[in-house]
Structure 1
Amino acid sequence: MADIQLDKIDLHILKLVQQHGKLSNQELAEKVGLSPSPCSRRVKALEEAGYIAGYATLLSPAHFDLALTAYIHVRLEKHSSETLENFEATVASYDEVQECCLLTGSDADYQLKVLVKDMPAFKVFLLDKLTTNEKIAGVHSSFVLKQVKNQTQIPLPPSAD
């Protein structure tokens, strides 16, 4: 990954592609005040430098009858590298898990964000998948009643406006 100095145009490009991932190069170029070729070169440079990590389409969970979001705090019995790696590999294989974070400053070792259809589906995930791992010492689940904010954009420096 090459390191590049981000200027105001680069930051504007990054802001726009975060907010509007389907912008064509032509539309993006117009919005940042460049012609298409230089705009395309800048986007390619930002990709190669690692500022743009990838592209994704965000699907609506409601359209797939996925109505229950749960956060599960998991405490493991041991903290050996092997135990952590095995847990992480297992959790990474579960489609229901949207996020898995190793924590500090908490009684839990990991926090999982899980998306399922309903409480019976959650029960199946929890009892038939997650807690079959003998290295788990305990779990604590919380359920989302209302999602107040959900965004994928990261904050950029003020010059990105």
Structure 2
Amino acid sequence: MSFARVRALVVVGLLAVFALVFVVIALVRDTQSNAGTAEGCPKSWPLADVTLREPKDVKINVYNGTDEAGLAGSVADDFRNRKFQVKKEGNAPKQVDDVAVLRFGPKGVGSAHLLRAYFLDNADPQFDIKRKDDTVDVILGNSFQQLATTTEVNQSLGDLGSPVAPPGTCPAPVDK
């Protein structure tokens, strides 16, 4: 073996050792190991479920906030065809001018995030910190025309990014 080849192997070996030492030090000194968990949050704050759900795992109530008769039923059927769990449908107590209003609690944060994509982020999210269930109330408004297509939903989810815990809550630990 020539001297040049031995020298090259020594240099490559030293680089590999330095890289290994660097990785070990980076892992040991990692200060973000608890990022995105509830550690460090006040005990009185509720845990927000920020897991982005699949439609089959999302429970919704659909309410009609317009003068159009039967709108809640037809949109509820659209949601059922998209595999959502529609629990209730009916008329809202008062009219809504927006496209839609999404009402949810800490357990419905990820579900509401998904539903925002079905309204192309034009729905008004209304978070209720005292709400205990994981159901999202969808109140259709006068500006509602139709639910987004699958492609539009996927694009909207990309634009929205990941669900974020609302103010006054902590993100729940994610099961791995």
* Range class of TM-score, shorter chain: under 0.3
The structure that is helix-richer by fraction is 1
| TM-score, structure 2 normalization | 0.25
| TM-score, structure 1 normalization | 0.27
